[in-house]
């Protein structure tokens, strides 16, 4: 077992072990990737204030997200095709998350289905839905999530149109992968991955095939996807979704204070400040830079969470100190999963928790719930330098 001391170690192993097509799928942003890069680099503009000679014993990173206990304020973000990064990937990641005491969010576009993940785990997970045109299918997704005892629904609202990642087009990304001379040559170098995939029957979009009208096999999926997403989405439509699901609800994909104010009227339990990991609008603000203005607009009225760019416990600490009640990691857990399966996801979570815990102590705190902006040094014009 390799010695893992940080998330970058996992990314490097992941890159070696997983076919190029799926590595590129995760490790890319839209168009020039400006926002993808800013998501991580903007975190490093914020500095932490080190304190000494304060009691740093008996620390705790435990808190709550939407009223549910978490061992640290970090959930696994919904990531499509997770089951292509490692055989049975969603089940592996969900198991690592439940043992660690953090929420796992299953994507609509997962390989393992809602029912399959529920059967193979012991604690409730969260389910993410996209905003699709087909009412029946949407209602059935919520019903299936309820039957599977999901303890929250996450509605992703930033995918009315799709951002373009050049590499996915050039690689001919698909699940399962299309067999071309180039993809076969690459997959032959990923032996462990290939053996895992040969040993599982979970290789298609489990929530869609056999459930969506007219999608009975993988070949009809691409035409369904092109048709299914609702370009005409508006807030009334989002309020209809609220009526379809009576459990805890989280709205994901808000990057502007005006939209955060709109989200208040939907009756959600939380919003996620997110630019989809830089995969949608290239040139949009990084999430961490968008957070202060959103906190000012709605922070005292609704729970605010954040994702996009988190690669360390220090990043989590900064987001929490700026007022977020929780964070999510997408790529950071995918690196772990692709590198070493369930153990790799656990390793990613351990790295982040250790960094969070020790950084919190250095800043003079023992409890994550007590952390606030005073531990930060934020450049004066960090989030209000626009006209």
Query: Catalytic site residues?
Result: 276
DSSP per-residue string spanning 108-160? TT-SS-HHHHHHT-SS--EEEEE-BS-HHHHHHHHHHHHHTT-SEEEEE-S-S
User: How far is residue 199's CA from residue 186's CA, in Å, rounded to a whole number?
Assistant: 19
Does residue 39 belong to the site contacting ligand FMN (CB under 6 A)? yes
Q: How are beta strands 152-156 and 126-130 bridged, if at all?
A: parallel
249-288: contacts with ligand FMN (CB under 6 A): 252, 274, 276-277, 279
H/E stretch holding 41: helix 34-41
Does residue 316 belong to the site contacting ligand FMN (CB under 6 A)? no
Does residue 338 belong to the site contacting ligand FMN (CB under 6 A)? no
Largest CA distance in the chain: 66
Given 79, 173, 306, 375, the residue binding ligand FMN (CB under 6 A): 79
User: How far is residue 8's CA from residue 312's CA, in Å, rounded to a whole number?
Assistant: 10
Given 248, 292, 309, 336, the residue binding ligand FMN (CB under 6 A): 309
User: How far is residue 206's CA from residue 209's CA, in Å, rounded to a whole number?
Assistant: 6
Residue closest to ligand FMN, measured at CB? 330
User: How far is residue 329's CA from residue 196's CA, in Å, rounded to a whole number?
Assistant: 24
How much is the CA Rg of the chain, to the nearest whole Å? 20
Q: Applying CB under 6 A, which part among 12-20, 71-79, 232-240, 360-368 lies near ligand FMN?
A: 71-79
Does residue 128 belong to the site contacting ligand FMN (CB under 6 A)? yes
CB of 308 to ligand FMN, least distance (A): 4
Does residue 138 belong to the site contacting ligand FMN (CB under 6 A)? no
Given 331, 348, 371, 375, the residue binding ligand FMN (CB under 6 A): 331
Q: What is the token pair recorded at 288?
A: 């961490």
User: How far is residue 191's CA from residue 317's CA, in Å, rounded to a whole number?
Assistant: 38
**In the complex with ligand FMN, which residue's Cβ is closer, 168 or 350?**
168
Q: Applying CB under 6 A, which part among 6-14, 308-316, 340-348, 367-375 lies near ligand FMN?
A: 308-316
Does residue 196 belong to the site contacting ligand FMN (CB under 6 A)? no
Given 233, 329, 352, 375, the residue binding ligand FMN (CB under 6 A): 329
Residues at the site binding ligand FMN, with contacts judged by CB under 6 A? 25-26, 39, 77-80, 107, 109, 128, 156, 252, 274, 276-277, 279, 307-310, 329-332
């Amino acid at each position: 077992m390799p010695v893992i001391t940080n998330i970058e170690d996992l990314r490097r192993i992941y890159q070696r072990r997983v076919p190029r097509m799926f590595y590129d799928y995760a490790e890319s942003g839209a168009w020039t990737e400006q926002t993808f890069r800013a998501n991580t680099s903007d975190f490093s503009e914020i500095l932490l204030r080190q304190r000494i000679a304060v009691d740093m014993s008996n620390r705790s990173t435990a808190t709550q997200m939407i009223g549910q206990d978490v061992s640290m304020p970090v959930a696994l973000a919904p990531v499509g095709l997770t089951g292509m990064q490692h055989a049975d990937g969603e089940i592996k990641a969900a198991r690592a998350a439940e043992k660690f005491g953090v929420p796992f969010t299953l994507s609509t576009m997962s390989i393992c289905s809602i029912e399959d993940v529920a059967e193979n785990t012991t604690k409730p997970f969260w389910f993410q839905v996209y905003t699709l045109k087909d009412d029946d299918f949407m209602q059935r997704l919520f019903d299936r999530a309820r039957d599977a005892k999901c303890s929250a629904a996450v509605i992703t609202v930033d995918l009315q149109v799709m951002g373009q990642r050049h590499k996915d087009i050039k690689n001919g990304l698909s699940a399962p992968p299309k067999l071309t001379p180039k993809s076969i040559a690459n997959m032959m170098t990923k032996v462990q991955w290939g053996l895992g995939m040969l040993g599982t029957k979970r290789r298609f979009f489990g929530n869609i095939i056999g459930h969506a009208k007219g999608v009975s096999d993988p070949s009809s999926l691409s035409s369904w996807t092109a048709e299914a997403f609702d370009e005409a989405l508006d807030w009334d439509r989002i309020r209809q979704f609220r009526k379809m699901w009576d459990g805890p609800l989280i709205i994901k994909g808000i990057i502007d204070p005006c939209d955060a104010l709109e989200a208040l009227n939907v009756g959600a339990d939380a919003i996620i400040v997110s630019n989809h990991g830089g995969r949608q609008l290239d040139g949009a603000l990084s999430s961490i830079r968008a957070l202060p203005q959103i906190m000012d607009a709605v922070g005292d009225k609704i729970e605010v969470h954040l994702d996009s760019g988190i690669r360390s416990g220090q990043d989590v600490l900064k987001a929490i100190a700026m007022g977020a009640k929780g964070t999510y990691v997408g790529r950071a857990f995918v690196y772990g999963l692709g590198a070493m399966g369930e153990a790799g996801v656990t390793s990613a979570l351990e790295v982040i928790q250790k960094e969070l815990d020790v950084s919190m102590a250095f800043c003079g705190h023992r409890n994550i719930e007590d952390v606030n902006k005073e531990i930060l040094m934020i450049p004066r014009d960090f989030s209000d330098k626009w006209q």
